[in-house]
Amino acid sequence: AQSVTQLDSHVSVSEGTPVLLRCNYSSSYSPSLFWYVQHPNKGLQLLLKYTSAATLVKGINGFEAEFKKSETSFHLTKPSAHMSDAAEYFCVVSRPEEGADGLTFGKGTHLIIQP
Amino acid sequence: NAGVTQTPKFQVLKTGQSMTLQCAQDMNHEYMSWYRQDPGMGLRLIHYSVGAGITDQGEVPNGYNVSRSTTEDFPLRLLSAAPSQTSVYFCASRIERGASYNEQFFGPGTRLTVL
């Protein structure tokens, strides 16, 4: 079975400072991993995904994530936070053979940007 | 393309009432699914469909019915609403079930309150 743990339910940073959102996963095999973002009262939008190619993945809006198999982590980072980054972020692990739709969602991290 | 659309955006029901949440996609995706989102719980899969005429249960199916008569539409029916079904509901689609490493597209959500 697979699982996803987002280590922080809330993260608060000042505008212009780095962002780090942490995600650990467990999976019997090499999974695909995603980060989705949800702005207030909106649906989820794909930020980036890892599918066993390069371990450093670049996404939209300056976000990137690094897949570290030895640490079973897929942390999301951004060098400089912007007010528009305030949103809920979900780490998702994918294995087609696991579960009904192969996706396991983390519980989410709420990112707060202080002016 | 409109992507994934959902109606209504908001709905208030009384306990025991029934209603249908509508979902449509214009991307010719085989796979469609319904999730509910509750605070601190992430997204949980209710039902999914791998193609017209084929549906199956997800993690939290009780109290909900689905059907898939066309590729485009995947309505979710609440048979007898209960306060525990107060939630935000998201419809999603992707190319096919086995391709869970592909991006999943989400609708904007329906916010349902059951009194």
pLDDT value of position A103: 82
Q: How far apart are CA A69 and CA B43, in angstroms?
A: 25
What is the pLDDT averaged over residues A9-18? 97
- Model confidence at B5, in pLDDT bands (50, 70, 90)? very high
pLDDT above 90 coverage of chain A, percent? 69
What is the pLDDT averaged over residues A73-96? 92
- Model confidence at A35, in pLDDT bands (50, 70, 90)? very high
Does residue A6 have a pLDDT over 90?
yes
What is the pLDDT averaged over residues A31-49? 91
Nearest to A94 by CA among A61, A54, A67: A67
pLDDT value of position A26: 85
Q: What is the 3-state composition of chain A as percent helix, strand, coil, each rounded to the nearest 5?
A: 5, 55, 40
- Model confidence at B102, in pLDDT bands (50, 70, 90)? confident
Q: Which of A9, A42, A96 sits opposite B100 (nearest CB)?
A: A96
Question: What is the residue whose two structure tokens read 């208030």?
Answer: B12
**A52-84, pLDDT tens digit by residue?**
778 899 999 999 999 998 899 999 999 999 999
pLDDT value of position A8: 95
**B14-71, pLDDT tens digit by residue?**
999 999 999 999 999 999 999 999 988 889 999 999 999 999 999 899 999 999 999 9
- CB contact set of A60 (below 8 Å; sequence gap of 6+): A47, A48
Q: Output the average pLDDT for chain A.
A: 90
Q: Which of B43, B45, B108 sits opposite A100 (nearest CB)?
A: B45
Does residue A45 sit at the B interface (CB-CB below 8 Å)?
yes
What is the pLDDT averaged over residues A34-39? 94
Beta bridge partners of B92: B33, B106
Report chain B residues whose CB lies below 8 A from the CB of A102.
Answer: 97-98, 100
Q: Which of B41, B48, B104 sits opposite A100 (nearest CB)?
A: B48
Cα–Cα distances (Å) from B57 to A35, A50, B14, B38, in that order, read 25, 27, 25, 19
The HSE-up count of residue A20 (CA atoms within 13 Å, CB side) is: 5
